[in-house]
Amino acid sequence: MGNLYLIRHGQASFGADDYDVLSPVGIRQSQALGEHLAQLGLRLDRCVAGNLRRQQDTARLALETLKGNGHAVPAIETDPAFNEFDADGVIRALLPGLMADEPNAGHILRNGVQNRSEFQRLFALMVQRWHAGEHEGDGLETWQAFTARVNAGLQRVLDTAGSGDNIAVFTSGGTIAALLHLVSGITPSQAFALNWQIINTSLSQLKFRGRDVALASFNSQAHVQLLKVPELITYR
């Protein structure tokens, strides 16, 4: 059987002008992941990443560290099917309908760094309404379209994989949630309940034989837990 290692990107720059940039913590997380893969002696046959900067940079830093520890590394293949859903688009589309019940939502979402727990509560509520289809058809990628995109990327990887390949997929939390939904059959609500627990640079493992895929492990954090540096365990 082959293995797909689903890796969430390192911490991005939440609250900055450009979210899609790894923070200093995100850089260290990515390097710690590479060191951990080297210690495991894991042979990677392929590496696939979405085309978002935070996904590409996490892959690059992890593989550079793995290579620096004497391991051969594959080139990074890019497939935008593994990009995150449009979180900003979800907020823009769902916020107006939320204001009647949450009159302070606009202020909270504009100042998320200062209101992290409330930001997460409101964002989770909007995501729930998004995957339930409770929004206008305003050009926003639907949950159904998102999962179809992610599934197409998964099938491309499987169709070109060797039977015993170890393949790293550098992606995002929402994409991993969609894959959990597709592979295990859990509901979107259950998938996103798990999504909120996925830490930056964690590993989730899928086993595959042909197009048959099964979940083997979820949200492994050993590479940062062993360092005993609590600030490296982040969720956004």
Whether 54 is in a domain gets the answer yes
pTM confidence score:
0.93
56 and 28, same structural domain?
A: yes
- Final residue belonging to a domain, choices 75, 109, 131: 131
125 and 94, same structural domain?
A: yes
Domain containing residue 154: CATH number: 3.40.50.1240
Whether 136 is in a domain gets the answer no
pLDDT tens digits for 153-167? 999 999 999 999 999
Give me the number of domains the chain comprises. 2
Query: Which amino acid is located at 233 in the chain?
Result: I
How far apart are alpha carbons 216 and 133 in whole angstroms?
Answer: 30
Q: Alpha helices, DSSP H only, in the chain?
A: 24-40, 53-68, 87-98, 105-110, 116-131, 143-159, 173-184, 188-195, 222-225
Mean pLDDT of all residues in 167-193: 96
Q: In which domain, by residue range, is 101 found?
A: 87-131
How far apart are alpha carbons 142 and 36 in whole angstroms?
Answer: 36
pLDDT at 205 over 70: yes
163 and 217, same structural domain?
A: yes
Query: Which amino acid is located at 196 in the chain?
Result: W
Q: Give the pLDDT confidence score for residue 103 in this predicted structure.
A: 85
pLDDT tens digits for 80-121? 999 999 998 998 888 888 888 888 888 888 877 777 888 888
